[in-house]
Amino acid sequence: MKNECIPGNLMKPLLKFLLTGLDYLHTVCHIIHTDLKPDNILLGIEDEEIISELIKEEEKDPTPAKLYDNRCIYAHRNFGNLRGPPGRPKIADFGLAVRSPDDGTYNHPIQPDLLQAPEVILRAGWSYSADIWNLGVMIWDLLEGRSLFGASDPETNTYSAGLHLDEMISLFGPPPKQLLLRGGSATSYFTSDGNPVNRETQEARGTGLESTITTLFGEDKELFLDFVTRMLQWLPENRPTARELLKDPWLCS
């Protein structure tokens, strides 16, 4: 899956499969994926006849390829428009996955920059619920066809964790003090009063996600906002589990 716009009526059934898989990882395998992103979600082919057609086309007109560092790299082949609903999505690439720690949390950096949970940035200890935040941001990105967060330093054009936290504040309001107190790197971004370092100390008020959603409308939009807001909570312990999310009204509507 690439970071392109996916309509809500297609997102819901796909998301049910992903949440079912994530629940299995968390509750049965006791594994935290840590790297949920569109590149790591595989969709089954919608029509097996495509494979037969591909073989015939390759025999007739082979795809251009070249050797690079002892690897054969093939040019992209366009398969055209979807011929029907895609196959079941699958969570892939467990190269960075970890088993649940004995003491309850980990503290090392994980997740793609713009999908990082606040407890990961703040080094406040993360566990299964980091995957829930990760998935929540990814869903928003796929529905809107763009990134919820920018977090790019205009001077260096590189990722800035401080700007990322600023953007979270603008959407969700200031982080709870209890999260900052347990964050090993919180003092790099916030004062003892909970205000952003080197920024205006006026209490930030969250503008909410409502104005950022442009692809859903009416009751469907309201239900989605309730759904994704449950996932994008500052405090990890306030986020629902994958199994709980499967019962959410938006997915069942």
The Cα–Cα gap between 184 and 187 comes to 8
- Token pair 């529905």 is at which residue? 143
List the catalytic residue out of 35, 131, 141, 248: 35
Alpha carbon separation from 199 to 92, 113, 162, 190 (Å, rounded): 40, 22, 10, 9
Per-residue burial over 168-200, b = 16 or more CB atoms within 10 Å of its CB, e = otherwise: bbebbebbeeebbeebeebeebbeeebbbeeee
- Smallest Cα–Cα separation from 166: which of 128, 195, 131? 195
Other residues' Cβ atoms within 10 Å of the Cβ of residue 14 = 19
- Smallest Cα–Cα separation from 94: which of 24, 44, 17? 24
The Cα–Cα gap between 221 and 232 comes to 16
The Cα–Cα gap between 171 and 34 comes to 23
Does 35 qualify as catalytic in the annotation? yes
The Cα–Cα gap between 249 and 161 comes to 33
- Could you tell me which residues are beta bridge partners of residue 196? 190
In 25-97, where does DSSP find H-type helix?
49-60
- Token pair 């800035």 is at which residue? 160
Catalytic positions are: 35
